[in-house]
Structure 1
Amino acid sequence: MSLKVHHLNCGTMCPACERLVSGHGSWSRPGKLVCHCLLLETPDCLVLVDTGMGLQDIAEPRRRLGLTYPPLFKPLLALEETAIQQIRALGLDPRDVRHIITTHLDLDHAGGLSDFPWAQVHVLEPELKQIQQPGLREHLRFRLPQFKHRPNWVVHPERGESWFGLDSIQAIAELRDQVLLVPLIGHTKGHTGVAVNTDSGWLLHCGDAYYHHSELTASPNTPGFLKFFEVLIQAKPAARIANIKRLRQLAANHSGEIELFCAHDPVELARYHRPQ
């Protein structure tokens, strides 16, 4: 079964000066982060990997995004960047989105879930537990109003079969081994990557397992703001560090077979999408 892959930016953010975000440029110029999502066209349906910001986030940013996130990250909150609008712009029907796979449930990854209330939403079991049984840390981190529509959750275990030495779970039965969950715990308790088997090889969406493309190299040079935030928000530090090492090895040993990218690096998104 052939898959057509669209790389979407579903949320531009300008969180701090460019030097702190990208490691270069003027102190006064705004930096840029993106919400790199995937839209998969199959012969039978559409599949989203993450959703970025949604229509309701734009309409009600204070209720949906809270008081801290908007001034800190300065999201653009543009209607044309929402997944549902981009699907329409491609001439596709949003009602054909039957599956959504979330790398995790932070607000900049799950805001668009409410735009597709009919879709099955695939999530790892420990990730869903964070919003169903939230402690103080989870109440502060996750935006529970984004889930008021009661998503149609499909819960997956944390472990499965082996994929290039990593655990993997078949997420969608009808797609068999073409779309896999690859648990990358650490950023959150149920964080996962998503592997997509294309005609030209595997893509691995690493979510927020890392923030900057240099982290996959032998000499990482992560900008200060991103490095600080990466550590600040991690849920399981040892697991996060172990998984970034595994991803670094994967990138080094299988560069001809797998393309890796994270959710927020505009350099990585530029490989697949050039802004107009």
Structure 2
Amino acid sequence: MNKPKEGFCIYLDAISSDLSLEHIIPKSLGGLDEFSILADRKFNNSTASTIDAGLANDFLMLFDRDRQKAVGHSRTHPEPRVKKATLEDGTPVQVTFAASGLRIYNLRERRYLNDHERSGRTISLEGVTIHLDADLKFVAKVGLAAGFFAYGDLFREQVQHSELRKIVNAEHLNQITPDVRVHCRFPSEQELESETLQILKLATESVECSSVLLMPGIGCFGIAVGILGNFVGMINVKADIVGFPNTGAYDAGHCIYLQSGRMYRSSLRHVFKKLADHLDLK
């Protein structure tokens, strides 16, 4: 029997006596094996799995997972499905909004309606759940792991990652510390006017893949996450970035894109320059 691995776990900010491999972004959301860290097994199997599943099974996220065929360990193809729905005459149905086409299943007759039977019908949907906290909890979890993955002990010792950990473990996010800046995937009308938000959305939505942007700044450290080509959120916490690398692939920050089965790493400056060049061509 193999002896459990012992070492530091960034999720716990402590030594774990039982480490296991943790996908920083799960495969069900576009992750790759090479974008992983060692973390406490119990945390991986409980809190981390719950946070990952909260976003992976989100009704809106299922549309992107279906379109990009993003499957997890079960290898089951995800599709957005509403299990509680009714036709205008009260007939109970299940509705699947698949990329391959709409399917309506008559629960009484236990069969799918054909195109003629569906024509002109009205469907009322019930039980569609969207967890508004799922995005920021996921960004905080990814931020902890990706920050440590890319910057190692500099992230561990000089970034106030305790604030990320609070978000990961919080029951409700209305207790976020006021000096922690956040943008979520459902911004207010006022937030949409933010130039920072628009740039981050462009950087994470310009390619249909999952991505992480790590952004050291004066007195702060920002993490933005995109999943399957959609901006999920950004969290900015206090940090002392003295000694952080600022050349090569770390110039102005570090970006990780998981595209077509490969991990691409480059500087934030390079990514922003490519975006600027692309906009200049339009």
TM-score normalised according to structure 2 size: 0.28
Q: Work out which of the two has the higher radius of gyration on C-alpha atoms and give 1 or 2.
A: 2
Structure with the bigger RCO (C-alpha within 8 Å, sep 6+) is 1
Larger strand proportion, structure 1 or 2?
2
> Normalising by structure 1, what TM-score?
0.28
